[in-house]
């Protein structure tokens, strides 16, 4: 066994975590802190940048201590982060000029729709692989420049810096010495050309963004710099950065064309490794860059806006369950959802529908509908949404999935995983270590600093917890999918 360990900083939408891994990919220690979600107006979502920074910095020493280690036992750091969330700060002081605009925020939905009306959709997709939407960073950044007092003038004068969360953390970890990001995070901004692997001048002009604001861009596995000694008492190299979903794709070892994973978090994020040629989706999917140590592969991605958040809704707003785990207990008490379908389009529909004005809908309620039926329908809705994306990927690529690798909090729900296998007609594979986002960041860091000799070292230690095989006959599966299709149709904006 190696005497040193890898530290992953996993900065997510609702919490910041630090996880320490050994050479076998097992967790040695961890710590997490939640932070406040800000909703200044309906549809707006913000984070205080100091909450992001403070929570992430705070868990580093806690994780090291929980593992019974010292800073000298840490070989390297990998960073993984919530993507698209947009921050702008002063180039000299590092002081943010406003709250971070979170990926979930819909304040720029009209601006994104205007881009489509003005005929920019094909140009943007051709360069970035993205569909114009408020989800991505560019419209958020333009909103900040146009609405925060003095921001435009300061940006034009070269006095402001832009970054996604990875960039913001790296800036502060290195004492403001390094302003950089990786290919995966850059590919989510709608400002980065995924074919030339550079910021795109045409897009910078469209969104009014000075190039001086932008970070340098490197592979996910890269020697970015080293932390300030004062952070944990020792300078530690930062050897990887990757957006959370691409980090999870790497953590699941989806390194070959056709490999597919889904992360069940607040939303659901399905990625397929598409190899070295950028696919052109005709079904509302986006093309992005995969995490790598060298030149990246491309990946097809579909995002479901409300996944695990639907279970939180059952718990917090409807108060039907006390804990998320209770959802499985209630769901298995009935043999089916009793014809009930729940479409949790609380903030619109993501891939492959891309309808920002769709809203949550419930269909099929009868006098015989019970709490158990409703809870089961909510869980099933997560699997249906994931299937919609899987089916779109299959039609775009001609590759029929034989296995879906899964991770994220809701992947622990055996009922949901079995229903996912049944409705998708393919195996669902859950790894022993489900913290694959943080694991992917540690793998990338370890490969970069020489902790691992190569990918074969990592693959030799991969461990599966459980495989769920499909059990539905085709007639039953198609009948259920037809009901879902009808429910989705009723949820869409007309």
Q: What is the pLDDT of residues 70-101, one digit of tens each?
A: 999 999 999 999 999 999 999 999 999 999 99
pLDDT tens-digit series, residues 232-291: 889 999 999 999 999 999 999 999 899 999 999 888 989 999 998 898 888 889 999 999
Q: What is the chain's length? A: 494
String of DSSP letters for 422-489: HHHTSEEEEES---HHHHHHHHHHHHHHTSSSSHHHHHTT--EEEEEPP---HHHHHHHHHHHHHHHH
- pLDDT category at 43 given cuts 50, 70, 90 is confident
| pTM for this prediction | 0.88
Retrieve residue 296's tokens. Answer: 């990246």
- Pure H helices in 398-454: 414-424, 436-449
- For residue 58, what pLDDT is reported? 93
Tens digit of each residue's pLDDT (9 = 90 or more) over 166-194: 999 999 999 999 999 999 999 999 999 99
List pLDDT tens digits, range 192-205.
Answer: 999 999 999 999 99
Half-sphere exposure of residue 401, counting CA atoms within 13 Å on the CB side?
Answer: 35
Note the pLDDT of residue 131: 87
Closest residue by Cα to residue 30 from 41, 16, 44: 16
| pLDDT of res. 70 | 93
- Given a cut of 70, whether residue 494 has pLDDT beyond it is no
Structural contact between residues 136 and 186, judged by C-beta atoms closer than 8 angstroms: no
> Among 184, 351, 368, which residue's Cα sits nearest to residue 283?
351
Average per-residue pLDDT in the chain? 94
pLDDT value at position 355?
85
């Amino acid at each position: 066994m190696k005497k040193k360990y890898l530290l992953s900083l996993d900065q997510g939408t609702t919490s910041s975590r630090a996880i320490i891994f050994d050479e076998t990919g097992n967790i040695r220690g961890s710590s997490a802190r939640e932070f406040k979600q800000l909703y200044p107006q309906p549809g707006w979502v913000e984070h205080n940048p100091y909450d992001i920074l403070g929570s992430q910095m705070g868990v580093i020493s806690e994780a090291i201590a929980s593992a019974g280690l010292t800073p000298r036992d840490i070989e390297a750091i990998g960073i993984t982060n919530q993507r698209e969330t947009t921050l702008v700060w002063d180039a000299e002081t590092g002081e943010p000029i406003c709250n971070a605009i979170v990926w979930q925020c819909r304040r720029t939905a009209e601006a994104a729709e205007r881009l489509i009306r003005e005929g920019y959709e094909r140009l943007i997709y051709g360069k970035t692989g993205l569909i114009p939407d408020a989800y991505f960073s560019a419209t958020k950044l333009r909103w900040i420049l146009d609405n925060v007092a003095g921001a435009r003038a300061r940006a034009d004068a070269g006095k402001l810096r832009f970054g996604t969360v990875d960039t913001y953390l790296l800036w502060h970890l290195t004492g403001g010495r390094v302003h950089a990001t990786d290919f995966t995070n850059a590919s989510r901004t709608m400002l980065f050309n995924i074919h030339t692997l550079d910021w795109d001048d045409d897009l910078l002009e469209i969104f009014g963004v000075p190039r001086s604001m932008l970070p340098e861009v490197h592979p996910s596995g890269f020697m970015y710099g080293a932390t300030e000694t004062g952070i944990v008492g020792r300078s530690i190299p930062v050897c990887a950065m990757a957006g959370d979903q691409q980090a999870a794709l790497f953590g699941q070892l989806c390194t070959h064309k056709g490999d597919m994973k889904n992360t069940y978090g607040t939303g659901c994020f399905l990625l397929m490794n598409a190899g070295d040629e950028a696919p052109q989706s005709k079904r509302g999917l986006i093309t992005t860059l995969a995490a790598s140590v060298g030149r990246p592969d491309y990946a097809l991605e579909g995002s479901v806006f409300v996944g695990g958040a639907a279970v939180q809704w059952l718990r917090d707003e409807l108060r039907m369950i006390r804990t998320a785990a209770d959802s499985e207990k209630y769901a298995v008490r009935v043999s089916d959802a009793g014809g009930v379908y729940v479409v949790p389009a609380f903030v619109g529909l993501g891939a492959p529908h891309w309808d920002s004005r769709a809203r949550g809908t419930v269909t099929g309620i009868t006098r015989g509908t019970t709490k158990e039926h409703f809870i089961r329908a909510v869980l099933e809705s997560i699997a249906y949404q994931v299937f919609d994306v899987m089916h779109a990927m299959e039609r775009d690529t001609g590759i029929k999935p034989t296995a879906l690798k899964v991770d994220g909090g809701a992947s622990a729900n055996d009922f949901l995983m079995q229903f996912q296998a049944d409705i998708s007609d393919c195996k669902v594979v859950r790894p022993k270590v489900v913290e694959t986002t943080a694991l992917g960041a540690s793998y990338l860091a370890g490969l970069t600093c020489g902790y691992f000799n190569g990918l074969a070292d990592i693959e030799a230690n991969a461990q599966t917890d459980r495989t769920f095989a499909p059990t539905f006959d085709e007639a039953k599966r198609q009948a259920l999918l037809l009901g879902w299709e009808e429910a989705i149709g009723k949820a869409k904006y007309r």
